[in-house]
């Protein structure tokens, strides 16, 4: 980020009076008090779910009972996607604490940091939870990341999130499990505005088709028909416990460190090397932006950081890890010149490539039903099923 006033009270940008989202955030609007629509959206979700309150806690306990009931006679009663990061590690603990019998599922994009792998092993061993890992061929993994790099889009590592979702469904289906628990928390992360970080199976497939060199064989692609199969036919439910119960990321981290000798890796999603490269280098250097304002805005909304402090951190230049750039170039087989050439190229938006977005919008009434039945995440419904107000990235 260059040349943004570090004092939130002096910037000429219009900034939300409650969080730190500014006018550059996609589809943002402000009320008379200067509060942004994203703050209102979160407020509404908190009310609807009763997050951290009696209503939410009771609702979650009801879900837990249902999971136990539906899981009778099966080896596992729920699936938990794990990365070695804070949210998913803590999710494992929460599941066990409530007497659930989870199977942990990991999608290994072959860029894991050693810390993440070690964290995963420690927590799973201590809690006595089985692990199912899907490993993609590393040449294929690199090829997909390279395709996104050449496509000049912001969603460099989107293939990872979608692959984990697909693998969790496959494993759930294989073991006859009806529930997938996710460690997402809108309280600590917010809901990413739709202008950012869009992804679906068509998007990944079309970019890989255009820029890829090796065939897609071991990548678990979630096509539209698979997505519909898992949600509307197999009726595998996605539950996000932290939407119901109180979740404090800082406390969770301290708990994991104390109980499982777990190690912190230094930031949101930094447990994976490509995610770290994406968050700390790619997005700021090529797109002159950062996703850090999601987490920072959440800290402000939760009263854990002042707006002034969060803004200063948000606009401060990111620390560039030289090793990470070298590692990225080496893994993708990019020469220094080639890397610089692509990095300097004009960025493109996901809207310039084929996606399922229009189809999701057409099927909005269907997804509304699926979202209320917990068959697709509510955040998917809110983010993907409505037209964007303005096309920006």
Residues near Zn ion (CB under 5 A), total = 6
18 in contact with Zn ion (CB under 5 A): yes
Stretch that binds Zn ion, among 11-19, 67-75, 120-128, 158-166 (CB under 5 A): 11-19
Question: What is the residue-wise DSSP string for 234-290?
Answer: S--EEE-GGGTS---HHHHHHHHHHHH-----SSTTTTBHHHHHIIIIIHHHHHS--
Q: Between residues 39 and 94, which has the closer beta carbon with respect to Zn ion?
A: 39
> From the CB of 314, what's the least distance to Zn ion, in Å?
13
Question: Which one among 15, 16, 194, 315 touches Zn ion, defined by CB under 5 A?
Answer: 16
Q: Between residues 18 and 237, which has the closer beta carbon with respect to Zn ion?
A: 18
> From the CB of 357, what's the least distance to Zn ion, in Å?
25
Q: Are 1 and 290 in contact (CB under 8 A)?
A: yes
Enumerate residues 30-49 that contact Zn ion by CB under 5 A. Answer: 36, 39
Enumerate residues 196-225 that contact Zn ion by CB under 5 A. Answer: none
> From the CB of 36, what's the least distance to Zn ion, in Å?
3
> From the CB of 52, what's the least distance to Zn ion, in Å?
19
Of the candidates 237, 240, 231, the residue with the CA atom closest to the CA atom of residue 95? 240
> From the CB of 21, what's the least distance to Zn ion, in Å?
5
Q: Between residues 21 and 60, which has the closer beta carbon with respect to Zn ion?
A: 21
Q: Where are the alpha helices (DSSP H) in the chain?
A: 37-49, 54-70, 86-97, 114-127, 138-150, 158-174, 186-189, 201-211, 224-228, 249-260, 273-277, 283-287, 292-301, 307-315, 322-332, 336-344, 357-362, 364-372, 378-384
CB-based burial label for 45 (10 Å; 0-12, 13-18, 19+): middle
Stretch that binds Zn ion, among 10-18, 161-169, 178-186, 373-381 (CB under 5 A): 10-18
Q: At what angle do helices 86-97 and 249-260 cross, to 10 degrees?
A: 70
> From the CB of 239, what's the least distance to Zn ion, in Å?
27
Residue nearest Zn ion (C-beta atom): 16
19 in contact with Zn ion (CB under 5 A): yes
Phi/psi for 297 (5° steps) reads -60, -40
Contact set with Zn ion (CB under 5 A): 16, 18-19, 21, 36, 39
């Amino acid at each position: 980020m260059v040349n943004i006033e570090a004092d939130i009270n002096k910037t000429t940008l219009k900034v939300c009076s409650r969080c730190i989202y500014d006018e550059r955030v996609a589809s943002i609007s402000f009320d008379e008090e200067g509060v942004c629509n994203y703050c209102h959206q979160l407020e509404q979700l908190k009310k609807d779910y009763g997050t951290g309150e009696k209503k939410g806690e009771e609702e979650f306990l009801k879900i837990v009972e249902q999971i136990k009931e539906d899981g009778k006679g099966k080896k596992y009663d729920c699936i938990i996607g794990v990365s070695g990061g804070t949210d998913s590690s803590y999710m494992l603990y929460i599941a066990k604490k409530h007497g659930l019998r989870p199977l942990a599922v990991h999608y290994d994009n072959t860029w894991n940091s050693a810390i993440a792998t070690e964290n995963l092993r420690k927590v799973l061993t201590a809690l006595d939870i089985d692990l199912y890992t899907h490993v993609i061929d590393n040449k294929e993994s690199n090829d997909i990341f390279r395709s996104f790099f050449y496509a000049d889009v912001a969603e460099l590592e989107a293939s990872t999130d979608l692959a984990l979702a697909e693998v969790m469904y496959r494993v759930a289906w294989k073991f006859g499990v009806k529930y997938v628990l996710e460690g997402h928390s809108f309280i600590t992360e917010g809901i990413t505005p739709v202008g950012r970080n869009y992804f679906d199976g068509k998007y990944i497939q079309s970019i890989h088709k255009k820029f890829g060199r090796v065939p897609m064989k071991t990548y678990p692609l979630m096509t539209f028909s698979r997505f519909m199969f898992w949600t509307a036919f197999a009726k595998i439910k996605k539950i996000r416990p932290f939407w119901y119960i109180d979740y404090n990321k800082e406390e969770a981290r301290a708990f994991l460190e104390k109980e499982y000798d777990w190690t912190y890796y230094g930031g949101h999603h930094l447990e994976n090397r490509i995610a770290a490269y994406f968050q700390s280098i790619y997005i700021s250097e090529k797109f002159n932006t950062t996703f850090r304002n999601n987490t920072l805005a959440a800290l402000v909304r939760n009263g854990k950081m002042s707006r002034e402090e969060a803004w200063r951190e948000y606009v401060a230049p990111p620390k560039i890890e030289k090793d990470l750039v070298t590692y990225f170039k080496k893994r993708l087989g990019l020469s220094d010149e080639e890397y610089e050439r692509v990095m300097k190229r004009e960025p493109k938006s996901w809207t310039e490539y084929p996606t399922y977005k229009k189809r999701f919008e057409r099927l909005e009434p269907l997804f509304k039903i699926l979202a209320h039945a917990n068959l697709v995440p509510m955040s998917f419904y809110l983010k993907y099923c409505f037209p964007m107000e303005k096309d920006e990235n």
